[in-house]
Amino acid sequence: MSPAKVSAVITPAFLSALRSHPHLPTHSWYFIAGVTLSAINRPDEIPTVFNYALEHGVGPAPESSKPAAAEQLQIARRLREGLVKSAAVVGLPKQKTINGLFALKTATPAELLDEPMGYSPSARPVEVYDVPSSQILHRGQRFFDAVYGKVSKRVMGQMDRSGTEDLGVVARLMYGYLLSNTAILSPAESSFVLMAALIPQDVNPQLKGHLKGAVNNGATVDEVRAVRDIVIRICEASGMTRLQDNATGGWGWRSEVANL
């Protein structure tokens, strides 16, 4: 079924409730919501989130004031960066990053876009063409080590010994050029992106590592639990449920979503 033909998940009241979560860091609810919607194949709902943030601001409800132009640009860039970073775990085609970014662009005023050959606040184009790859890969390894802590060597070793070392290469490229770039989203916020993208996919083994990784990256336990909570609420509003152990199909989680 096309997303345009299904019921809306996001409403102003729902967004007000999300942004009012007592432990959710300010300036995070909208990119967490956008990444979750991309991961569940509802890119059509991302403009609703974006427009609400531009109109009402990013602080907790009932505070509501239209942000100034500089903050609007920050909101647009942070939401785009969340979608870009989510590519590491949800992929580019169909229901993922490409459609999410294109849907966001339809709602973005021209002055809030970072178009080709213009200024990229992430500086990734510069890193790809003008920075030695070894420098970027070492940065990625440091980020990976911070996320996984004392088990980082074991986790990377498992990927290197997955039957092909190419899996380890892919991980190093993702962490180097994509995830460890914290010019727009902080390390903790980058972990929130990964949580928002992983929870809808029912992949607890990977999610557990990134729940702990968020804390390793500077988030509090309450913040991590708050992010988990609002992602689950968006997923449930879209129709995801806890599946029975003997279920042969359905859309949801086969076990309780991992938590700290």
**Gap between the Cα atoms of 127 and 123, Å rounded:** 6
Q: What is the pLDDT of residue 3?
A: 46
Q: What is the pLDDT of residue 9?
A: 86
- DSSP 3-state of 241: strand
Counting beta carbons within 10 angstroms of the beta carbon of residue 199, is it exposed (0 to 12), middle (13 to 18) or buried (19 or more)? buried
List own/partner pairs for 51-58 with CB under 8 A and 24 or more apart.
Answer: 51/107, 52/12, 52/15, 53/79, 58/19, 58/26, 58/27, 58/29, 58/30
Pick out the chain residues at pLDDT < 70.
1-5, 61-63, 92-95, 117-118
E strands of the chain, at which residues? 241-242, 252-253
What are the residue boundaries of the structural domains of the chain, listed by start?
3-122+193-203+220-242
- Alpha carbon dihedral 131, 133, 136, 141, in 10-degree steps, equals -170
Q: What is the pLDDT of residue 33?
A: 98
Q: What is the pLDDT of residue 1?
A: 40
pTM here is: 0.93
Residue type, 44: D
pLDDT digits over 152-201, tens only? 999 999 999 999 999 999 999 999 999 999 999 999 999 999 999 999 99
